[in-house]
């Protein structure tokens, strides 16, 4: 497998670095909040989900555990694939869901 050509990008409202790369036909935006505490995972996920506005765009989130509050908040608006990594972290990939992603309320970025 070839090395992904990752490029760091600026994402409005993000508190961790974001990267983008192409995987097959998809543009992937990725961030890692596995060393962050609340509210950083939610804040960065909400900032990143604003980039997912077409079926060929995906958001990959690496976190120390599955973000239950986030999934409860926007789970019906995106297709979500959750994968356990060998080191114990979790990688979630959010994909555009036609007719639903547009309805997600991404303005409120806290669990409360």
- The CATH number of residue 25's host domain is 3.30.110.40
- Asked, for residue 106, whether it belongs to a domain, the answer is no
Q: Look up the pTM and report it.
A: 0.93
- Using one digit for the tens of pLDDT, what is the confidence trace for 24-71? 999 999 999 999 999 999 999 999 999 999 999 999 999 999 999 999
- Using one digit for the tens of pLDDT, what is the confidence trace for 10-24? 999 999 999 999 999
Residue 2 clears pLDDT 60, i.e. is over it: no
CA dihedral 103, 59, 89, 67 (to 10 degrees): -10
- Asked, for residue 105, whether it belongs to a domain, the answer is no
Residues 6+ apart with CB under 8 A from 1: none
- Asked, for residue 49, whether it belongs to a domain, the answer is yes
């Amino acid at each position: 497998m070839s090395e992904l050509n990752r490029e760091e990008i600026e994402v409005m409202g993000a508190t961790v670095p974001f990267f983008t790369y192409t995987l097959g036909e998809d543009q992937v935006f990725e961030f890692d909040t596995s060393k962050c505490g609340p509210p950083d995972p939610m804040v960065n996920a909400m900032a990143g989900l604003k980039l997912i506005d077409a079926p060929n765009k995906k958001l990959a989130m690496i976190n120390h555990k599955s973000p239950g509050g986030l999934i409860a908040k926007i789970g019906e608006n995106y297709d979500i694939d959750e994968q356990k990594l060998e080191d114990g972290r979790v990688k979630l990939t959010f994909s555009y869901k036609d007719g639903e992603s547009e309805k997600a309320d991404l303005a409120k970025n806290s669990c409360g």
